Amino acid sequence: MLIDFELTPIKEVVPWGTPGNHSLTWFGLTEGRYWINAGVATLFEYSDRVRHSDGSRYCDYYVARIFEDVMNMLPTILEAVPQDLRAYVSGNSGREWIKACESWSEKNLDEGAEDETWDTWERANLLLRDRFLETGYLSPSTSIVMWSDETDVHIEWGNRDKFIDGGLAWSAVSGSFHLPREKFVMEVEAFHARLFERMTSRIEQVAAGALHPDVQIDLPGLIAENERRQGMFAQALGQKGATPWDEIRSAVFEISADAASND
């Protein structure tokens, strides 16, 4: 399984709110742990150095978050990056590009910057938007990029600057993994199916009274949301990426040339 997870036992799910005003939603009921099996590496897995004996091996968060992110990213991930832009996405050159963008923004973006300068910045950022898995909700975050060429989906990560108490936070420090596009789609669909199989069972438990009586639940709304979310994979797969490559290329090359001239 590419994307794997486990849900917290329903009796142990922490309700939202304060005593006397506790509640849970579909999102909250997905409390658990998740990870990505990228070949021999495991993403979202804490390193042995920082993992406590009583702590989780994987990141503790709501599985709904990675589900939503992957569904939102899927159309863009499956849109092949043009050959001349791949160096700005992949490998060491991709990481150097991110640094160059940060330096360029610090130099050029301030209150007095012209609209054209901001437009250049926005267009350049479209290259990684929805190809970079946002994990700012974790402390520390983990850097993961997903992109494709005409045949494969590539998953790359770089966590050499992610620490907890002086130790590297994540077991997967730096590397990459790729798999055929069709296999990636099958894996995402399988993740979707497993999540909803378990969430449907969880909602049946809620309906049977598994939660503490003080926890407020909108059961009809919960059932409706579960049914609505079950269509997210088909909806995402049916969307076609519409990345404005020419605009991105122009902005990327402009920033790259400016950064090179200042080296």
The owner of tokens 């609505």 is 228
| pLDDT given for residue 42 in this prediction | 99
- Domain ranges, ordered by start, for the chain: 3-261
Beta strands in 169-236 (DSSP E): 174-180
Q: Which secondary-structure segment (H or E) carries 156?
A: strand 152-158
Between residues 246 and 55, the one the model is more confident about: 246
| pLDDT given for residue 52 in this prediction | 78
Looking at residue 5, its amino acid is F
Does residue 136 carry a pLDDT above 80? Answer: yes
Assigned token pair, 230 = 């079950």
The tens digit of pLDDT for each residue in 153-196 reads 999 999 999 999 999 999 999 999 999 999 999 999 999 999 99
The tens digit of pLDDT for each residue in 41-74 reads 999 999 999 987 567 899 999 999 999 999 999 9
Query: CA 147, CA 78: separation in Å to the nearest integer?
Result: 7
Model pTM score: 0.94
Pairing assessment for the beta strands 144-148 and 167-168 based on DSSP bridges: unpaired
With b meaning 16 or more CB within 10 Å and e meaning fewer, what string describes 161-181? Answer: ebeeeeebbbbbeeeebbbeb
Q: Which secondary-structure segment (H or E) carries 97?
A: helix 91-108
